[in-house]
Amino acid sequence: MVLRGDLRAAANAGITRQASASAFPGKITLGGKEYQKDNWFNVPDSIANSLTRELHNTPDHPISITRSIVESKFPSPTFKHYNKFFPVVSTHENFDSLGFPADHPGRSKTDTYYVNEKTVLRTHTSAHELAIFGANESVGYTCSADVYRRDAIDKTHYPIFHQMEGARMWDRRKAPGGNIVQAVWDDISNLPTHDMIVEDPNPPTHPERNPLQHGHSHDEAEAIAAHLKRSLELMVVEIFSRAKTAAIAADPNYHDEPLKVRWIEAYFPWTSPSWELEIFWQGDWLEVLGCGVVKQELLENAGVPSQLGWAFGIGLERIAMLLFEIPDIRLFWSQDARFLDQFKGVSSDLTSLKRYVPFSKYPACYKDVAFWLQPSSSSTTSAAGGLAPVQSFHENDVMEIVREIGGDVVEDVRKTDEFTHPKTGRKSLCYRINYRSLERTLTNEEANEFHEQVRAALARRLGVVLR
């Protein structure tokens, strides 16, 4: 989704995208594969047309470079690297296989892109865990992929982003004497050491905060946690040592300080015990990843019940923004040579990595849109004509409409006011939209044209009453 050509044409294309997204039943082709649509379908053309971009597999792209750096700390043949899984998956793969309850908000159409009731654009790389564990092709793996979620609009959120996960397994049937504990500690002794400062004040498990799984011994969980933490600490050292080298090269007066991380107890549906890892970077504690001991139920469902081990997940955009000092997530999707040329040759020579240099900063253009929500019992005219019940309002629907029309011309959208009329009980909301292109200065007339398209679409599609 890049700004190209005439902005008027782009705005008109936004209206076309809205119409096509609501045109069902029928069929849609995604990445060369045909799917039957139904009334769950909510994938706009702007998202469908991006399925083949695969930034994580594009040489010399910051996302691909970041993936390569992470993979370098999980070498073959111990780890097999999966980077080519197709983004359309079943709801069973994306939710059921991981134990998502039926009422989990992630299953909602407000959060997830549905092709049909049983098919979605994956919302996380974990959608492929069951297949990878079941294939059992190696004792460890990493998997990187583009993932899709309806979300807010700002400099750190985008409806398409990239995740990477990894896992390391041990098999009770293959460990000498069935002793998993000794096998894990033997593998730890073969891992490199580091001199990074690590804060880890909590015990390996806690009966309430971080429970041990049924069927796992305390010694097994402790050994697996130790292997997990050392492995991920080594990965963080690799990433942020490169980031520090690039920072020093860009600024000779850069204030160097020792790398420092801390482990925080956490909860994830498919690991227990679980942790988050934070790094102290440029004066702040930043969350880097989540991880833990894999839920045995997942391994049993994959047909490998004798295995146990660890898994982690990391957001590649978040790491790439820190690594390259990239200030706006939209830049990853830019095809502007002034952006892409800064990373030429880095994939083949990681020592040439350097910080991103901003090539411009175009002025912001703020526009407000305020509206009354319709009472839940009222009706509105649908895009196809006739009366349709008003759907429950969700902010992500506003974000999606703005994205469909403005694309990457929109830098952020923020709610600035909320008011409930004391007599009628009607609720009014106001959102401020910042129209700012990454590639040139927008005129006020151009921003107004986008904004009028947004206002009209909000009224037509959400049934709101504009103020």
- pLDDT given for residue 25 in this prediction: 66
- pLDDT given for residue 392 in this prediction: 79
d(CA 242, CA 70): 12
The answer to whether the beta carbons of residues 416 and 430 sit under 8 Å apart is yes
The per-residue pLDDT for range 342-388, each reduced to its tens digit, is 999 999 999 999 999 998 888 999 999 999 998 763 433 332 233 33
Reported for 209-217, long-range contacts at CB under 8 A and 24+ positions apart, including other chains, are: 209/265, 210/265, 210/266, 210/272, 210/273, 210/274, 210/275, 211/272, 211/273, 212/272, 212/273, 213/272, 213/293, 213/295, 213/296, 214/296, 215/296, 216/293, 216/296, 216/308, 217/181
Looking at the structure, tell me whether residues 316 and 403 fall in a common domain: no
Looking at the structure, tell me whether residues 257 and 369 fall in a common domain: no
Please indicate whether residue 167 or residue 3 has the higher confidence score (pLDDT).
167
Domain termination site, one of 348, 376, 393: 348
**Has residue 98 been placed in a domain?**
no
d(CA 75, CA 5): 44
- pLDDT given for residue 376 in this prediction: 61
> Using alpha carbons only, how large is the chain's radius of gyration in Å?
24
Domain termination site, one of 319, 348, 377: 348
**In which band, very low, low, confident or very high, does the pLDDT at 8 lie, cut at 50, 70 and 90?**
very low
Looking at the structure, tell me whether residues 408 and 338 fall in a common domain: no
The per-residue pLDDT for range 115-128, each reduced to its tens digit, is 999 999 999 999 99
The per-residue pLDDT for range 268-295, each reduced to its tens digit, is 888 999 999 999 998 899 999 999 999 9
Q: How far is CA 75 from CA 24, 133, 187, 310, in A?
A: 46, 18, 14, 16
Calculate mean pLDDT across residues 306-333: 96
Beta bridge partners of 366: 434
Looking at the structure, tell me whether residues 203 and 319 fall in a common domain: yes
Looking at the structure, tell me whether residues 236 and 311 fall in a common domain: yes
Tokens of 54: 């695969």
Looking at the structure, tell me whether residues 393 and 324 fall in a common domain: no
Query: 446 is in which domain, residue-wise?
Result: 365-466
The answer to whether the beta carbons of residues 82 and 164 sit under 8 Å apart is no
According to DSSP, residue 271 is labeled: E
Number of domains in the chain: 2
The CATH number of the domain where 310 resides is what? 3.30.930.10
Looking at the structure, tell me whether residues 269 and 328 fall in a common domain: yes
d(CA 282, CA 280): 7
Strand extents, DSSP E, 300-426: 307-315, 365-372, 379-381, 387-389, 410-420
* pTM for the predicted model, two decimal places: 0.86
Calculate mean pLDDT across residues 33-56: 94
Domain termination site, one of 293, 318, 348: 348
- Provide the percentage of residues in the chain whose pLDDT is more than 70: 91
Calculate mean pLDDT across residues 44-63: 94
The per-residue pLDDT for range 238-278, each reduced to its tens digit, is 999 999 999 999 988 888 889 999 999 999 888 999 999 99
Q: Could you give the residue ranges of the DSSP H alpha helices within 251-347?
A: 296-301, 316-324, 337-340
Torsional sign, CA 30, 34, 35, 41: positive
Nearest by Cα to 123 from 97, 100, 150: 150
The CATH number of the domain where 383 resides is what? 3.30.70.380
Looking at the structure, tell me whether residues 330 and 378 fall in a common domain: no
